[in-house]
Homo-oligomer: A and B are copies of this chain.
Amino acid sequence: MSATTRRFPTQEELRVWRDFLETGDLVRAELTARLQQSSGLSPGDYAVLLALSEAVGQRLRSSELAATIGWERSRLSHHLGRMEKRGLIRREECLTDNRGHEVVLAPEGLAAFQEATRPHLRDIRELFVDALTPDQLAAAGQIAAALRAHLVRG
């Protein structure tokens, strides 16, 4: 088969591509709605609260928190501003570095997180794990790995 005939995806390949992405979005959207419903938290809130709840003293420097959850600092800064307004976290001066801030888990934040966790994990099982056969679950992992490897290699 010549290079020319393989230049563009077929209709079927495009369909799989769109299905693949859109389905991920649909599952994510449903999970987000349930999380919101059960706890009033967004996925971003949940990620922040999870990281803080696991930190010693339930506090982290902003940049450590950003690294832990894999966010850009400016994104985190904006998000923390919104979470602080809602009383989920506090920001305190950092004693060892006057430039830095420590993000502290507030009681309201801990409560919301604890309330969210079990239903959230159950929902992940329900919407993702239970929807797939063991073979499909394994395939999903391999597909993700293959896509990532291809991305990195270029």
Contact = CB atoms under 8 A, between A and B. Distances in A.
Interface of A: 6-9, 13-17, 19-24, 26-28, 30, 118, 121-122, 124-125, 127-133, 136-137, 139-151
Q: Which label, helix, strand, loop or mixed, suits the secondary structure of the A interface? A: helix
A21 B28 contact: yes
6 contacts: A14-B121, A17-B124, A20-B144, A21-B24, A26-B147, A140-B143
Contacts of A125: 6-9, 13
Nearest to A22: B144
A14 B139 contact: no
B17 A122 contact: no
A87 to B, nearest CB: 28
